[in-house]
Amino acid sequence: MNDVEVEVLAEPELDDPVLVEGLPGVGHVGTLVAEHLIEEGESELLRRIYSEHLPPQVTVSETGLAELVAVECHHVAIGDRDLLVVTGDQQAASGVGHYRIAEAVLDIAGEVGVGSVLALGGVPTGELVEEHAVLGAASSETLIETLEDVGVEFRENEPEGGIVGISGLLVGLGGQRGLTAACLMGETSGYLVDPKSAQALLGVLQTHLDFEVDLTELEERADEMEDVVARMQEIEDQNVPTEDDLRYIG
């Protein structure tokens, strides 16, 4: 295996596709949206990216099948909209690896004619969130204005430490390649898998890209998590939990 190896599974013609990335991160917000799009749209797996920069690991399916960790690129058609949805079980295991995987994703984006990139993720607030704002960062002023019109908030110096990992690099390196690129981040506590933040993010995405998906399943998961959160808050009322307590619930 080379540094990065791309398995080509299908090569359909896409119509002005938008890259939507949702690899694992804070609150699994990006992953939840990406997986929901794949499930609700008309989907086809186009590429698998294998790399020694991903963790040295196989995942085990429900039936016991072992599969090498990979980043996957799916074609998802929803209404008239063509998406290239990028997801997977793991991000790269090192800083250099993040750069290499991001470049590989952008190469594939180039092959299928992607003109704009939306990297999805969560931004941790450190406390349980009622209203899930969607924060943004983008490669151009024009895109910032467009996104503000659909409800994305651009706050001074947020997120404070910048955006780390593949989401940041897809915007940074994508911008360098002349793509219109933005990172959209749903506010989330940072402690829990957060389907409600994913719902808020998907809402913005629908308006921005002008498509509609059935949100039922995501709403159900959000309801389940609300129950968990409610139980959490009961516990919190009794004795303030440490970060470690909460971490096991994610």
Q: Which stretch binds a copy of itself (CB under 8 A): 36-44, 148-156, 200-208, 216-224?
A: 148-156
* Ramachandran bin of 151, using left for φ above 0, alpha for ψ from -120 to 50, beta for the remaining angles: left
- Report in angstroms how near the CB of residue 19 gets to a copy of itself at its nearest: 15
Report the distance separating Cα 125 and Cα 173, nearest Å: 27
- Report in angstroms how near the CB of residue 138 gets to a copy of itself at its nearest: 6
- Which residue in 113, 89, 116 sits closest to 101, CA to CA? 89
Among 62, 80, 234, 243, binds a copy of itself (CB under 8 A): 62
- Which residue in 245, 87, 248, 119 sits closest to 186, CA to CA? 119
Tokens found for residue 177: 């390649």
Q: Which residues pair with 194 in a beta bridge?
A: none
- Report in angstroms how near the CB of residue 62 gets to a copy of itself at its nearest: 5
Closer to a copy of itself by Cβ: residue 64 or 178:
64
Report the distance separating Cα 115 and Cα 97, nearest Å: 24
Closer to a copy of itself by Cβ: residue 168 or 195:
168
107 binds a copy of itself (CB under 8 A): no
Q: Residue 245 corresponds to which amino acid?
A: D
95 binds a copy of itself (CB under 8 A): yes
DSSP letter (8 states) at residue 240: P
Which residues contact a copy of itself by CB under 8 A? Answer: 1, 50, 52-60, 62-69, 89, 92-96, 98-100, 102-103, 136-141, 144, 154-159, 161-166, 168-169, 171-173, 175-176, 181-183
